[in-house]
Structure 1
Amino acid sequence: MTPHARGILLLVLVTALWGSTFAVVKELGEQLPPSVLIAWRFTLATVVLLPVLAVMARKAPTRSIPATGGFAGWKEGLARDGLILGAWLIAGYGTQTVALQTTSANRAAFFTALSVVLVPVWLTFAQRRRMPLSLWVALPLAVFGLGLLSWEGGALVVGDAWALACAVTYAGFIVALEGTATRHHPLQFTFAQVLVVTVLAWIWAGLSAPGQLWPPESAWAPLLYLGVLATAVTTLLQTIGQRTVSAAEASLIYALEPVTATFFSFLLIQEKVGLRGAAGGLLVVVATVLSQRTQPHPQPELPAPQGLDPGTPETNAAAASQRSRA
């Protein structure tokens, strides 16, 4: 198997794992408050990533330190950027987890996909540029598709509003990360964000659910799945896979996440999508793909994969539409 083919398979696997989390989080939300769920998920991810980070630091201890500013400046910048991005991340995870308490997993997944469309819109207005034709087409398609999804089987529910808030906050995360992604080593920067989410989630849990901090026995298996496989392992697999996959290919693969979410929602919790919902979901996927054609490369959303220089096409592939995990 060629490295390129292996990279595509890894990213397909990552997308499938991401899609499965919506159903898992929805079921787990019946046993744990959102804050406690997020706190334990990211605690487990931190524990798994810490030894990997230590091993990589021993192999290349100075690769991620900029040529100017020295170690102290690098450390200070990493902490500052990790705090900012971690705050955006917990806002995305928090709104999405709350959304799944009242809306269906597949609807939440397609709502979350709207963040990919919102990013170029946000940047177009922030940078005072003319909005490309493809974006003029993508935006109403996404809105119409979400309307079909939301109205299938009943009126709008409060969870739909929370899912929309997730799309907005995660778009904010993407825009914020655009200016910081190339400043730091990818794994170290990812770990900093995961650690910040862990700390903020425990503060949230301590304030909102002080008597429910320890999960019941039945919650540990899905928590381990979310923390280890769907957070820590997917981070590493994505870093490996995107070394050999172009930005355009990665964008198309990641656009399939709500489709995989719908599949797993049916398989795991028997959620069904009717004809109107399927049509709406298809429109959201098409809008997502169209929105990625608004510029030569997708906006950076992740730190560049290890070993790649910022600004190259391969590096830009690392930024191609990673969704906020449920």
Structure 2
Amino acid sequence: MNILLLLLVTLVWGTTFPLLKSAAATLSGVEISAIRFLIAAVCMLPFAWRAPRQTWRDGALLGAFALVSYVAQAFGLEHISSNRSAFLTSLNVLMVPFIGVLLGGRLALPMVLASVVACAGIGLMSWEGGGNLLGDGATLLCALAYALYVIVLSQRSARHDSRQLAATQILLMAGFASVWVGGMGIGGDSLTTLPARLMPHLGPLLYLGLVATAGMLLLQAVAQRHVPADKAAVIYAMEPVFAALFAWVLLNETLGLRAALGGAMVVVAVIVSELKPAESPVPAK
């Protein structure tokens, strides 16, 4: 059941890439993130009232990782295609066990081979149409932040009520992102033009806030109480597959032969890397 929940989460995430790509035409990554988090916060507010202090502390840590990940991803989509963003974001499943090494785990030979295949795949993707250093760098930062999020969530989700943990994350993310947007708007006209710029994307933003953020963070908090980080990561490897499918349907995006081969290599690498995970890659705390 938990595996099915994580597959549903991954499927919904796949739908967000073309929506984020479209919204990035008039909104910045921080603005998109702030709006979706504020929408989600309204939905989750009742669950946060009685959350204990420890839940707020862990929610703040998880919210910080998630915020960096969401904002970096949205920023990267201003410069690269949704297909490319999805495949680069999927590298977070390779990062989980490598970060585990820093926490005392051991790195197995299949992990080393998988990382080589993944790097070769990224090289092919970058070759197709040329890379974008800014967009690719931001998306890799997104992957790193999300790898840390997955690890911390697996370690700490069992300590809390899932609804309260998701609610505190979302409220804090909404607050952080709103302050960020406010600071960016000082001395400019971005805040005054924001309503006009967001109206064309109101429907997708409601979906991003209510379904893809509030709903999926809640399901993720429920499922990862019983699924370790390395096992969850292999399920998340399906995200770029779903994203490419929805980008084809909604945006008519296509991948060239080299880019498609590179993307397939990335997916194969992240799956192979989790078939025989290193012993205790992320030590329980």
TM-score interval, smaller chain: 0.7 to 0.9
Determine if the alignment matches structure 1 residue 196 to structure 2 residue 172: yes
- Residues 117 and 243 of structure 1, relative CA distance in 2, 3 Å threshold: closer
Say if 1:206 and 1:213, in contact at 8 Å, map to a contact too. Answer: no
| One-letter identity of the residue aligned with 1:165 | L
Structure-to-structure mapping, 1:4-83, within 5 angstroms: 4=1, 10-51=5-46, 53=47, 75-83=52-60
Query: Is 2:131 the counterpart of 1:145?
Result: no
Question: Post-superposition shift, 1:270?
Answer: 1.6
Match of 2:248 among 262, 266, 269: 266
**Matching residue of 1:181:** 157
Q: Does 1:228 align with 2:210?
A: yes
Q: Does residue 294 of the first structure (1) align with residue 269 of the second (2)? A: no
Distance 2:38 2:214 in 1: 10
Asked if 1 retains the 8 angstrom alpha-carbon contact of 2:96 and 2:230, the reply is no
Aligned-partner Cα distance in 2 for 1:176–1:239: 11
- Percent identical among aligned pairs is 39
**Counterparts of 1:81 and 1:280, CA distance in 2:** 37
Q: CA RMSD in A?
A: 2.9
**What do the CA deviations read for 1:295-317 (whole angstroms, capped 9, x no partner)?**
468859xxxxxxxxx99xxxxxx
Partner of 2:93: 116
Tell whether the 8 Å contact from 1:36 to 1:212 is kept in structure 2 after alignment.
no
Map of 2:144 onto structure 1? 168
Alpha-carbon spacing, 1:201–1:244, altered in 2? closer, same or farther (3 Å): closer
Q: Which letter maps to 1:273?
A: L
The alignment status of 1:126 with 2:126, answered yes or no, reads no
Give the distance between the partners of 1:163 and 1:82, measured in 2 at CA. 23
Aligned residues: 278
Q: Determine which of 102, 111, 114 is the counterpart of 1:135.
A: 111
- 1:211 equivalent in structure 2: 192
Structure 1 216/173 Cα, relative in aligned 2: closer, same or farther at 3 Å? Answer: closer
SS of 1:271's equivalent in the other structure is: coil
Q: RCO greater where, 1 or 2, for CA within 8 Å and sep 6 or more? A: 2
Q: Between Structure 1 and Structure 2, which shows a larger proportion of helix residues? A: 2
The structural deviation recorded for 1:167 is 1.3
Report the AA paired with residue 20 of structure 1.
T
Equivalent position amino acid for 2:257 in 1: L
Work out whether residues 28 and 74 of structure 2, in 8 Å CA contact, stay in contact via their aligned partners in 1. Answer: no
Matched-pair contact (CA < 8 Å) for 2:44–2:170: no
Q: Which amino acid aligns with 2:266?
A: V
Output the CA distance in 1 between the equivalents of 2:78 and 2:103: 33
Distance in 2 between residues matched to 1:80 and 1:205, nearest whole Å:
23
* Aligned mates of 2:212, 2:131 — CA distance in 1: 31
8 Å CA contact 2:96, 2:148 repeated in 1: yes
Gapped regions of structure 1 (runs ≥ 5): 62-73, 301-309, 312-326
Cα displacement (A) at 1:9 = 5.5
CA displacement, residues 181-238 of structure 1 (integer Å, 9 cap, x when unaligned): 3322222111111111100000011011333443532121110111112122233455
For residue 78 of structure 2, the aligned residue among 101, 104, 111 is: 101
SS of residue paired to 2:192: coil
Of residues 17-26 and 211-220 in structure 1, the stretch that sits farther from structure 2 once superposed is 211-220
Letter in 2 for 1:294: P
Question: What is the TM-score when the length of structure 1 is the normalising length?
Answer: 0.75
Q: Which amino acid aligns with 2:11?
A: A
**Residue 145 of structure 1, CA deviation:** 1.2
Distance 2:152 2:3 in 1: 27
Deviation at 1:14, TM superposition (A): 2.8
Query: Aligned partners of 2:280 and 2:142: how far apart in 1?
Result: 24
For structure 2, the 5+ residue unaligned runs are 186-190
Per the alignment, residue 281 of structure 1 pairs with 263
**Cα–Cα, structure 1 residues 179 and 248, in superposed 2: closer, same or farther, change >3 Å?**
closer
Contact 2:106–2:280 at 8 Å: present in 1 too?
no
